[in-house]
A and B are shown apart, each in its own frame.
Chain A
Amino acid sequence: MSGLWAVALKELRQIRRDRRSLLILLFIPCFFLFLYGYALNFDIRHVPLAVEDRDLTEESRALVAAFVRSTYFDQVASIDRPEDMAALLDTGRARAVLVIPSDFSQRIRQGGVAEVQVVLDGENANSATTVLGYANAVLADASLRLGGQIRTPIVSAAPRIWYNPELRSTLFLVPGLIAYLATVMAVVSTALSIVREKESGTIEQIRMAPISTLTFVVGKTLPYLVLSQVSAFLVILAAMALFGLPMRGDWFTLGLVVALFLVGALGTGLLVSTIAPSQQVAFQASMLIAFLPTLMLSGFIFPIASMPLALQYVTTIVPAKYFLIGLRGVVLKGLGAGDLLGPMAAMGAFAVVVLALSAARLARR
């Protein structure tokens, strides 16, 4: 026990002395959250809109007003001559054009279907799709108010979105960011801290002492577990303050989910450190086996359901996937520990496997 305490205390003192690792552990994650949180935003607002209103009636003006009121669109130009449209889109002054035909109000009064045209800049297919979605929503809303039907099908579904009613991509992305940052902290800092002892030869000295491999490993990872848990919560709190991430579940379950994930991540770092001969190799290996899967295969950015089947199978061994299910479950859906037994068991199993593998590698003599 004295050995365990000695190792943990020494590690804490080293971290405190080593400004760089302290910075990496505590502040860089928050900084990155801030940076990525704003950059990684799939929402689009204030799309510059040009309007070609050939009808010029009360109804047509009401439709334009509905577009502007939605805050998704800003009217930047009115088009009098049809040939001006291309120039506006080419120069990027407008990214969407609304064309209202001259019989617009007449058709509405007759109770018929009034067709309008929305022309979009398709340069970025993703944002064009999103903008089209906004335009349809505005049209559907306006058609109800105007009493007629504006390009809406006769039978239309009325979608209602739960958990994230505004479909803000931030609420979806921020948990992924937290998983990504927790991986960075836990895997890299553990891997580097042990490889550093290999490089300086101190690990050899510790092997000569009568303490078990288990004592050494636990004593060494304990401070990182505590620190990365603190850091993960700092990031979660920052996400709540900056991006309005809600907290619908309980903190205990959240802490449990985070801790299970971090133990697995620390184990991964440990495993990397048993293989890597130098800090540089350790860093690159961590990138390969921890960052990339967390980024690509966890459902952070790319939905798992839209991956090829083979890749979907691969994702079952990516711990960040289960962490995301757990994290989103707790903060967005308010699920409790009882609802998340599956993902928690998966993270626990992953942790046991990597820890056992690295213990086996460390104990060889």
Chain B
Amino acid sequence: MIRPGQTDGGPPPVIHVDALSRTFGAFRAVDQVSFDVQRGEVFGFLGSNGAGKSTTIRMLCGLLKPSSGRALVDGLDVGRDPEGVKRRIGYMSQRFSLYELLTVEQNIRFYAGLYGITGERLERRRRFALDIGGLAGREHERTGHLSGGWRQRLALGCALLHEPPILFLDEPTGGVDPVSRREFWRLIDDLSAAGTTVLVTTHYLDEAERCDRVAIMHLGRLAALGTIGELKRTFADRPIVEIRTADPVALMAWLDAHALVEKTSLFGTAVHAVLRSGTAPAELEAALGASGQTVRSLEPVVPSLEDVFLDVVDRLERGRAA
């Protein structure tokens, strides 16, 4: 397992997770997961559906009781003091949970009421939420009439009304157009710069690239953890080549059987081949030429996060099979 990027000494982590597990019956949804998150970090969870991302987040929010292990959020044990944890976190899901029949103003006041925000503070935070949503002057519009991007930012504003030091975002940009997504991430960067710790789950790889560190989860386990650079460095001596050909499927079969190739995967119409440690791309090109395989182009590529993700998942599965 790759686990760089952890700090020794320095300030204590805002989130400390130690061998956290959750089972549903015989099913281990989260299996012995451990990591630390520092203040102001944007920490990404990457994984396919059912990888255990959401279950982990729900435990960290005090919504689900851990089956074993423990997690401290802002110093509070999530299993022992879920209510205290809830006061210190903001949460926003992909569904932007607003009441569509109510106006912008009524939604803000409702969520403020849940956290007991009143008086001068309410006025200040209300203005903050309207600013973040860019909705000043539109307070009395019905929330259901707003488009996805507006609703998303209003939901973020509502999740931040009580000024939580930690923000959980569960796939926050589902169903939102690319421009709104970019604006949303700018808000996240601002929050992080101001000291808010952000945990975000996503299956968009480009979003994961914007995180300070990324945890890749697979089958309930933490498969890899590090900065994007660190994760990509695992390919340091294993070049990746992108090959274009008329018949990618036949080519993949040939490559998979070849001694120089560790594994292949299909990227659109191109084939990505990970070469064995120490192999030069030219060696593969020569081998292809010698075997009479017709190839349109072959060039080394920088590993993408998708390459990393597939590699990590692949190794974990092989580890299980072994």
**Residues of chain A whose beta carbon lies under 8 Å from any beta carbon of chain B:** 2-3, 5-7, 9-10, 13-14, 17-18, 200-202, 204-211, 365
Q: Given A3-B116, A10-B106, A201-B93, A209 and B86 touching (CB < 8 A)?
A: yes
**B113 and A2 contacting across the interface, CB-CB below 8 Å:** yes
Q: State in angstroms the CA–CA spacing of A205 and B86 once bound together.
A: 11
Question: Interface of chain A, helix or strand or loop or mixed?
Answer: helix
**B113 and A210 contacting across the interface, CB-CB below 8 Å:** no
Q: State in angstroms the CA–CA spacing of A3 and B117 once bound together.
A: 10
> Assuming A3-B114, A9-B110, A365-B82, what are 13 further A-B pairs, CB within 8 angstroms?
A2-B113, A7-B114, A200-B100, A204-B95, A205-B91, A205-B93, A207-B63, A208-B63, A208-B91, A209-B86, A209-B111, A209-B114, A209-B115
Q: State in angstroms the CA–CA spacing of A6 and B102 once bound together.
A: 13
The 7 closest A-B pairs by CB, nearest first: A6-B113, A201-B95, A205-B97, A208-B91, A209-B114, A17-B101, A210-B86
Q: Given A13-B106, A205-B93, A211 and B114 touching (CB < 8 A)?
A: yes
Q: Is B260 an interface residue (CB 8 A)?
A: no
* B156 → A minimal CB distance (Å): 12
**CB-defined contacts of A207 to chain B, threshold 8 Å:** 63
**A3 and B93 contacting across the interface, CB-CB below 8 Å:** no
Q: State in angstroms the CA–CA spacing of A200 and B143 once bound together.
A: 13
Residue of A nearest to B110 (CB): A10
Q: Is B83 an interface residue (CB 8 A)?
A: yes
Q: Is B267 an interface residue (CB 8 A)?
A: no
Query: A18 touches which one: B61, B83, B101, B113 (CB < 8 A)?
Result: B101
Q: State in angstroms the CA–CA spacing of A150 and B86 once bound together.
A: 85
Contact with A along B98-137 (1 / 0, CB 8 A): 1111100010011111111010000000000000000000
Contact with A along B135-148 (1 / 0, CB 8 A): 00000001000000
* A233 → B minimal CB distance (Å): 27
Query: B95 touches which one: A5, A14, A200, A211 (CB < 8 A)?
Result: A200
**CB-defined contacts of A3 to chain B, threshold 8 Å:** 113-114, 116
Query: A200 touches which one: B97, B109, B116, B142 (CB < 8 A)?
Result: B97
Q: State in angstroms the CA–CA spacing of A11 and B7 once bound together.
A: 47
Q: Is B203 an interface residue (CB 8 A)?
A: no
Q: Given A3-B114, A211-B114, A10 and B102 touching (CB < 8 A)?
A: yes
Q: State in angstroms the CA–CA spacing of A80 and B199 once bound together.
A: 98
A-B contact pairs, 8 of them (CB 8 A): A6-B110, A7-B114, A17-B142, A201-B97, A204-B93, A205-B97, A206-B114, A210-B115
Q: Given A2-B113, A9-B113, A205-B91, A17 and B102 touching (CB < 8 A)?
A: yes
Contact with A along B259-275 (1 / 0, CB 8 A): 00000000000000000
**CB-defined contacts of A205 to chain B, threshold 8 Å:** 91, 93, 97, 111
Q: Is B89 an interface residue (CB 8 A)?
A: yes
A-B contact count (CB 8 A): 70
**A14 and B86 contacting across the interface, CB-CB below 8 Å:** no
**CB-defined contacts of B100 to chain A, threshold 8 Å:** 200
Q: Is B65 an interface residue (CB 8 A)?
A: yes
Q: State in angstroms the CA–CA spacing of A13 and B109 once bound together.
A: 12
Q: State in angstroms the CA–CA spacing of A205 and B95 once bound together.
A: 10
* A172 → B minimal CB distance (Å): 41
Residue of A nearest to B91 (CB): A208
Query: B97 touches which one: A10, A13, A14, A204 (CB < 8 A)?
Result: A204
Q: Is B80 an interface residue (CB 8 A)?
A: no
Q: Is B87 an interface residue (CB 8 A)?
A: yes
Residue of B nearest to A18 (CB): B101
Q: Is B176 an interface residue (CB 8 A)?
A: no
**CB-defined contacts of B111 to chain A, threshold 8 Å:** 205, 209
Q: State in angstroms the CA–CA spacing of A5 and B113 once bound together.
A: 8
Q: Is B295 an interface residue (CB 8 A)?
A: no
Q: State in angstroms the CA–CA spacing of A14 and B116 once bound together.
A: 20
* A203 → B minimal CB distance (Å): 8
Q: Given A2-B116, A210-B86, A365 and B64 touching (CB < 8 A)?
A: yes
**CB-defined contacts of A211 to chain B, threshold 8 Å:** 114
* A34 → B minimal CB distance (Å): 29
**A10 and B86 contacting across the interface, CB-CB below 8 Å:** no
**B110 and A208 contacting across the interface, CB-CB below 8 Å:** no
**A365 and B65 contacting across the interface, CB-CB below 8 Å:** yes
**B99 and A202 contacting across the interface, CB-CB below 8 Å:** yes
**B65 and A6 contacting across the interface, CB-CB below 8 Å:** no
* A202 → B minimal CB distance (Å): 4
**CB-defined contacts of B142 to chain A, threshold 8 Å:** 17
Q: State in angstroms the CA–CA spacing of A201 and B171 once bound together.
A: 13
Q: State in angstroms the CA–CA spacing of A10 and B98 once bound together.
A: 11
Q: State in angstroms the CA–CA spacing of A47 and B240 once bound together.
A: 96
* A267 → B minimal CB distance (Å): 23
Q: State in angstroms the CA–CA spacing of A285 and B82 once bound together.
A: 33
